[in-house]
Amino acid sequence: MTVPARARAAGREPGGPTLAVWKFASCDGCQLTLLNCEDELLAIADSVTIASFPEASSEVLPGPYDISIVEGSVTTPADAERIRAVRGQSRFLITIGACATSGGVQALRNFTDDLAPVVYASPEYIDSLRTSTPIADHVPVDFELRGCPIDKRQLLEVIAALLAGRRPNVRAHSVCIECKRAGRTCVLVAHGTPCLGPVTQAGCGALCPSAGRGCYGCFGPAPGWTFLPFGTAEPVRKEAESHDAR
Amino acid sequence: MTHGSRMTRGSRGINVPALARVEGEGGIEIVVSDGQVTQARLDIYEPPRFFEALLRGRRYTEPPDITARICGICPIAYQMSACQAIEDACGVAVPEPVRKLRRIIYCGEWIESHALHVYLLHAPDFLGYDSGIHLARDHPDIVGRGLRLKKAGNRLMEVIGGRSVHPVNIKVGGFYRAPAVAELRALLPVLEQARQDAADTLAWVAAFDFPDFERGYEFVSLRAPDEYPITEGRVVSSRGLDIAPAEYDGHFTEFQVRHSTALHSVLDGRTYLTGPMARYSLNSARLPADVAAAARAAGLGATCANPFRSIIVRAVELLYACGEAVRLIGGYQPPDPPAVEAGPEDATGYGCTEAPRGLLYHRYRITADGVITDAKIVPPTAQNQRAIEADLRDFAAPRLDAPRERLTRECEQAVRNYDPCISCAAHFLDLRVSQS
* Those residues with Cβ within 8 angstroms of residue B228's Cβ, 6 or more apart along the chain or in another chain: B279, B283, B286, B287, B320, B324
Query: Given an 8 Å threshold on Cβ–Cβ distance, is A28 in contact with B66?
Result: no
Q: Where are the alpha helices (DSSP H) in chain A?
A: 5-8, 29-35, 41-47, 77-88, 97-102, 116-119, 152-164, 175-181, 187-191, 207-210, 234-245
Number of helices (H) and strands (E) in chain A: give both, helices first. 11, 5
C-alpha to C-alpha distance for B224 and B152, rounded to whole angstroms: 26
* Those residues with Cβ within 8 angstroms of residue A95's Cβ, 6 or more apart along the chain or in another chain: A69, A70, A71, A101, A134, A135, A136, A141, A143, A144, A145
What is the pLDDT, as a whole number, of residue B21? 81
When mean pLDDT is compared across A139-143, A145-149, A240-244, the lowest value belongs to A240-244
C-alpha to C-alpha distance for A148 and A150, rounded to whole angstroms: 6
B62 and A216 Cβ atoms separated by less than 8 Å = no
Q: Which one, of B408, B426, B417, lies nearest residue B18 by Cα?
A: B408
What is the edge-to-edge ordering of all strands in the sheet holding B347-355? B347-355, B358-366, B372-378
Phi, psi of B265 (to 5 degrees): -140, 140
Query: Given an 8 Å threshold on Cβ–Cβ distance, is A57 in contact with B23?
Result: no
Residue B384: which region, alpha, beta or left (left: phi > 0; alpha: psi -120 to 50)? alpha
Chain A CB contacts of B162 under 8 Å are 207-208, 210-211
CA distances A80 to A105, A109, A110, Å, are 18, 17, 16
* Those residues with Cβ within 8 angstroms of residue A58's Cβ, 6 or more apart along the chain or in another chain: B2, B3, B4, B5, B20, B21, B124, B130, B131, B412
Average pLDDT of the segment spanning A187-205? 93
Chain B CB contacts of A55 under 8 Å are 20-23
Q: Within 13 A of A84's CA, how many CA atoms are on the CB side? A: 5
C-alpha to C-alpha distance for B178 and B117, rounded to whole angstroms: 30
Query: Which residue in chain A is spatially nearest to B145 when comparing CA positions?
Result: A38
Task: Report helix, strand or coil for B363.
Answer: strand
pLDDT tens string A115-125: 555 455 676 66
A175 and A206 Cβ atoms separated by less than 8 Å = yes
Kindly report the nearest CA distance between residue A232 and chain B, in angstroms.
19
DSSP code string of B85-139: HHHHHHT----HHHHHHHHHHHHHHHHHHHHIIIIIIIHHHHHT-SBHHHHHHH-
Question: Is the pLDDT at A233 greater than 50, yes or no?
Answer: no
| Cα-to-chain-centroid distance, residue B123 | 17
Average pLDDT of the segment spanning A31-56? 92
Domain residue limits, chain B: 53-215+267-382
The terminus-to-terminus CA distance of chain A in angstroms comes to 8
The terminus-to-terminus CA distance of chain B in angstroms comes to 51
A40 and A71 Cβ atoms separated by less than 8 Å = no
What is the pLDDT, as a whole number, of residue A10? 38
Question: Is the pLDDT at A235 greater than 50, yes or no?
Answer: no
What is the pLDDT, as a whole number, of residue B50? 85
C-alpha to C-alpha distance for A105 and B177, rounded to whole angstroms: 25
C-alpha to C-alpha distance for A110 and B38, rounded to whole angstroms: 41
B194 and B147 Cβ atoms separated by less than 8 Å = no
CATH code of the region B53-215+267-382: 1.10.645.10
Query: Which residue in chain B is spatially nearest to A104 when comparing CA positions?
Result: B69
Query: Given an 8 Å threshold on Cβ–Cβ distance, is A36 in contact with B154?
Result: yes
Chain A CB contacts of B53 under 8 Å are 109, 112, 115, 119
- Residue A190's Cβ-count burial label (10 Å; 0-12, 13-18, 19+) is exposed
C-alpha to C-alpha distance for B116 and B133, rounded to whole angstroms: 12
Chain B CB contacts of A35 under 8 Å are 116, 120
Query: Given an 8 Å threshold on Cβ–Cβ distance, is B256 in contact with A45?
Result: no
Dihedral sign of CA atoms B269, B271, B275, B281 in order: negative
**pLDDT above 90 coverage of chain A, percent:** 65
Of B133, B154, B429, the CB nearest to A45: B133
What is the pLDDT, as a whole number, of residue A11? 36
Q: Which one, of B394, B382, B76, B129, lies nearest residue B252 by Cα?
A: B382
Of B120, B144, B430, the CB nearest to A56: B120
The residues facing B28 across adjacent strands are B16, B42
Task: Report helix, strand or coil for B66.
Answer: helix
**CA-based angle A237:A136:B55, to the nearest 5?**
65
What is the pLDDT, as a whole number, of residue B24? 79
A147 and A208 Cβ atoms separated by less than 8 Å = no
Chain B CB contacts of A213 under 8 Å are 168-169, 171, 176
C-alpha to C-alpha distance for A31 and A23, rounded to whole angstroms: 8
Residues in chain A: 246
Query: Which residue in chain B is spatially nearest to A148 when comparing CA positions?
Result: B166
Helix axes B310-330, B276-283, angle to 10 degrees: 70
* Those residues with Cβ within 8 angstroms of residue A37's Cβ, 6 or more apart along the chain or in another chain: A44, A152, A155, A156
DSSP code string of B133-174: HHHHHH-HHHHHHHHHHHHHHHHHHHHHHSSSSS-SSEETTE
**pLDDT: is A203 or A246 the higher one?**
A203
The model's confidence at residue A2, banded by pLDDT at 50, 70 and 90, is very low
Chain A CB contacts of B256 under 8 Å are 120-122, 125
Q: Within 13 A of A159's CA, how many CA atoms are on the CB side? A: 28
A87 and A135 Cβ atoms separated by less than 8 Å = no
Give the pLDDT of chain B (436 residues) as one tens digit per residue: 333 333 334 445 878 877 878 777 888 989 988 888 998 999 888 888 888 888 999 999 999 999 999 999 999 999 999 999 999 999 999 999 999 999 999 999 999 999 999 999 999 999 999 999 999 999 999 999 999 999 999 999 999 999 999 999 999 999 999 999 999 999 999 999 999 999 999 999 999 999 999 999 999 999 999 999 999 999 999 999 999 999 999 999 998 888 888 889 999 999 999 999 999 999 999 999 999 999 999 999 999 999 999 999 999 999 999 999 999 999 999 999 999 999 999 999 999 999 999 999 999 999 999 999 999 999 999 999 999 999 999 999 999 988 988 898 999 999 999 998 887 666 443 322 222 2
Mutate to test the interface with A, among B61, B119, B131, B260 (most CBs of A within 10 A): B131
Give the other-Cβ count within 10 Å of B427's Cβ. Answer: 30
Query: Given an 8 Å threshold on Cβ–Cβ distance, is A109 in contact with B176?
Result: no
Of B21, B71, B163, the CB nearest to A57: B21
Query: Given an 8 Å threshold on Cβ–Cβ distance, is A42 in contact with B176?
Result: no
Residue type, B67: T
The residues facing B359 across adjacent strands are B354
C-alpha to C-alpha distance for B413 and B407, rounded to whole angstroms: 10
Task: Report helix, strand or coil for B253.
Answer: strand
The model's confidence at residue A230, banded by pLDDT at 50, 70 and 90, is low
H/E run at residue A23? strand A18-23
* Those residues with Cβ within 8 angstroms of residue B239's Cβ, 6 or more apart along the chain or in another chain: B218, B270
Chain A CB contacts of B65 under 8 Å are 216
Kindly report the nearest CA distance between residue B7 and chain A, in angstroms.
12
C-alpha to C-alpha distance for B153 and B320, rounded to whole angstroms: 13
C-alpha to C-alpha distance for B195 and B200, rounded to whole angstroms: 9
Chain A CB contacts of B421 under 8 Å are 28
Query: Given an 8 Å threshold on Cβ–Cβ distance, is B168 in contact with A208?
Result: yes
What is the edge-to-edge ordering of all strands in the sheet holding B242-243? B220-223, B234-237, B242-243
What is the pLDDT, as a whole number, of residue B413? 93
